[in-house]
């Protein structure tokens, strides 16, 4: 049973560029959340998608946007990249409901130069 799959694993972008990260949730999971983990810190919640709608959003600027497809996979888009956007981006999926432990992918390491 495949878990959460993220692509690409590593990415290097230049300031001002745009980037798209992809996530396939675990089989049976319909809810996808995105987190940003800066070096040496805990993950920070970006947003969550359910039924192709953004259900909740953390304290991130509008440069961060997302999408969920009918097959529950998801994309995270970041526009006008800043050096401070360099981080590990984690995707987590769950079958919905607060009492489920979210399953995390291995992440995409984004470096902005």
Q: Among residues 16 and 96, whose Cβ is nearest to another protein? A: 96
Q: Among residues 81 and 91, whose Cβ is nearest to another protein? A: 91
The dihedral region occupied by 61, where left means phi > 0, alpha psi between -120 and 50, and beta the remainder, is: beta
Q: Is residue 73 within the footprint of another protein (CB under 8 A)?
A: no
Choose which of 19, 76, 90, 110 interacts with another protein (CB under 8 A): 90
Q: Is residue 55 within the footprint of another protein (CB under 8 A)?
A: yes
To another protein, the closest distance from the beta carbon of 99 in angstroms equals 4
Place of tokens 């992809």: 22
CA distance 100 to 14: 37
CA distance 75 to 22: 5
Q: Is residue 107 within the footprint of another protein (CB under 8 A)?
A: yes
DSSP 95: S
Choose which of 7, 27, 56, 111 interacts with another protein (CB under 8 A): 56
Q: Tokens standing for 95?
A: 């079958």
CA distance 98 to 58: 17
User: Would you tell me which residues interact with another protein (CB under 8 A)?
Assistant: 4, 31, 33, 35, 40-45, 48, 55-56, 58, 90, 92, 98-99, 101-107, 109
């Amino acid at each position: 049973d495949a878990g959460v799959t993220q692509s690409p694993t590593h990415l290097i972008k230049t300031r001002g560029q745009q980037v798209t990260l992809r996530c396939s949730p675990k089989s049976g999971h319909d809810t996808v959340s995105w987190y940003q983990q800066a070096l040496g810190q805990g993950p920070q919640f970006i947003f969550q998608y359910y039924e192709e709608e953004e259900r909740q959003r953390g304290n991130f600027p509008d440069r961060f946007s997302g999408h969920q497809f009918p097959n529950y996979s998801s994309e995270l888009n970041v526009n006008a990249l800043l050096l401070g956007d360099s981080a590990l981006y984690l995707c987590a999926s769950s079958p919905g409901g607060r009492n489920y432990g979210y399953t995390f992918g291995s992440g995409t390491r984004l470096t902005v130069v």
